[in-house]
Structure 1
């Protein structure tokens, strides 16, 4: 499914076409990937959280890289800042608790509990679009493997991106322009 050489070649092309890192988000990820994660690190994360990461994302982490170049400001590393800090410490079962949504959720912003973490259980933050918009990968529940956008920062709720990790990342990689 993933071809590391092709991805690295494409990232080098983008970096070459944008040496001053002027494209949106490029100054953050610089078209570079972090090293892949060893299987032992993946298993440790999964065991600690009581989950199994969706295959497309898990394979990417192990074969391609643990964060770095990607849509918007890039991909978060699996167990590092800011992803780690976005998992509420007061909810130790956060990832193993099923994601509660199967369709868009956008009640009025002044609804009690609108910002509560309970609305994003079972999902892992993998990228941010800026201004508080977060892309989340659902890791437990009926939407497992799908991406959702948490746009509560602008009172736009939480809604599906109607895709999984591989097509989302691949679309960015193949359509991204460095200008």
Structure 2
């Protein structure tokens, strides 16, 4: 599925020039600054997909070819795809979670899941004879927990595209039954993985995800 993105660059330019544009979350400081990077050339996109061994979902492909390879977008912006150290990869705070070598493997979920489900709770301080013993047990608990929830198999088939802050991120499913959907990675808050949904509770794809941010940004500035 492709998408008509012909209005986006003009809308971004208007937003960038609007009073209060720097007050939109993620736009200022280390954020996207309302900048869109140049689109990919078709040959570059073909090279990326050959390297990854997977065709990217249509809505995102058409965005890369007609709008930009990244930049202005939800939260701190859409991670750009760049050629770094001789290979194409996504660049940004959290983009490194994308396992390039496993993108062709199917993301195994269609409903929300939490890799922390079923794990034991943290140690109770009162159960230990000394603060040192409790501290050691607590450190071991968190080490074991992170080894489980951060296993790379949880995020196969996901291209991480956005950092919401506080290590909450959103990703595009590129392989598996949920291909084309946007998913939230909320492991930082023990929330696991869950599809991004619209007001009706339906999982959304890249275009709906991006356009919701665009519409909300315009509405927020209109109220000023």
Q: Give the Cα separation in 2 of the matches to 1:21 and 1:128.
A: 18
Q: For structure 1, which runs of at least 5 residues remain unmatched after alignment?
A: none
Q: Does structure 2 conserve the Cα–Cα contact (< 8 Å) formed by 1:37 and 1:66?
A: yes
Q: Give the Cα separation in 1 of the matches to 2:155 and 2:149.
A: 11
TM superposition score normalised by structure 2? 0.72
Q: Give the Cα separation in 2 of the matches to 1:84 and 1:159.
A: 18
Structure in which a larger fraction of residues adopt helix = 2
Counterparts of residues 1-80 of structure 1 (less than 5 Å): 1-4=3-6, 6-18=7-19, 21-27=22-28, 28-78=31-81, 79-80=89-90
Three-state SS of the structure 2 residue aligned to 1:113 is: helix
After TM superposition, what 4+ stretches of structure 1 lie above 6 angstroms from structure 2? none
Counterparts of residues 1-179 of structure 1 (less than 5 Å): 1-4=3-6, 6-18=7-19, 21-27=22-28, 28-78=31-81, 79-82=89-92, 85-88=96-99, 93-106=101-114, 107-108=116-117, 110=145, 113-161=148-196, 162-176=203-217, 177-178=220-221
Q: Does structure 2 conserve the Cα–Cα contact (< 8 Å) formed by 1:2 and 1:64?
A: no
Q: For structure 2, which runs of at least 5 residues remain unmatched after alignment?
A: 82-88, 120-144, 197-202
CA, structure 1 residues 48+72, in 2 after alignment: closer, same or farther (shift >3 Å)? same
Aligned residues: 175
Query: Larger C-alpha radius of gyration, 1 or 2?
Result: 2
TM superposition score normalised by structure 1? 0.89
Q: Give the Cα separation in 2 of the matches to 1:81 and 1:16.
A: 26
